[in-house]
A and B are shown apart, each in its own frame.
Chain A
Amino acid sequence: GAGVSQSPSNKVTEKGKDVELRCDPISGHTALYWYRQSLGQGLEFLIYFQGNSAPDKSGLPSDRFSAERTGGSVSTLTIQRTQQEDSAVYLCASSLSPRSSGQGASFSYNEQFFGPGTRLTVL
């Protein structure tokens, strides 16, 4: 079946321009996550959605960053007035739900499935 898709795969923009990054999660996955990864670094959490609502926006680095999700499916991450430090790979992931369930032998972890990422370069 189709996995998580992201577009564009690469985006080069000039400093000060706005950019929109798109994520199509796996069908039926209610949870959606955005991460940012700079070259050689680990993943930096940005925001997660449960359905169309975002219970946790704590990772957004500044008010230039915003995200929305419509119809419990597609999500868009928007970066306004881009800066050179925004250059990174932006990864999207989805899971059945953010909540794991059960304990012990009955534990069910809803693993996150990642897309290929969007490489953003701000000149």
Chain B
Amino acid sequence: LAKTTQPISMDSYEGQEVNITCSHNNIATNDYITWYQQFPSQGPRFIIQGYKTKVTNEVASLFIPADRKSSTLSLPRVSLSDTAVYYCLVVPNRDDKIIFGKGTRLHILP
């Protein structure tokens, strides 16, 4: 299973764009990059996943360079309610478990 590395914590202000970068140097050819979000006192919830280039949905964008050794989750115009822990995962395209690391604790300030 590919190991991921992401910042332990980040602070930002309301209305800013926040980018959280994750490293996954030993990602395999058929692995996919997935991000989960966890609010305090709740279980994580899936927000976005991608294989390469750029993926966008109503919550976030995910940028993946050609070498796929890193990825960047982009949250546009954050609000206080975006304060959460964000987990970067590498999902194997096979019957296997996925591993949650410690995530990035994002704190949005007013």
Contacts and interface: CB of A to CB of B under 8 A. Distances in A.
A117 B40 CA distance: 12
A78 B103 CA distance: 27
Contacts of B49: 109, 111
Given A45-B97, A109-B91, A114 B51 contact: no
A21 interface: no
Contacts of A56: 97
Contact of B46 (A41, A42, A50, A111): A111
Indicate the size class of the contact surface on chain B.
20 to 34
A115 interface: yes
A102 to B, nearest CB: 8
Task: Report whether over half of chain B's contact residues are helix, strand or loop; otherwise say mixed.
Answer: loop
A112 interface: yes
B99 A45 contact: yes
A100 B34 CA distance: 12
Contact of A112 (B32, B46, B85, B96): B46
A26 interface: no
B43 A109 contact: no
B13 interface: no
A41 B91 CA distance: 21
A103 B30 contact: yes
Given A35-B100, A91-B43, A104 B51 contact: yes
B69 interface: no
A55 B100 CA distance: 19
Interface of A: 4, 33, 35, 41-43, 45, 48, 50, 55-56, 91, 93, 98-101, 103-104, 107, 109, 111-117
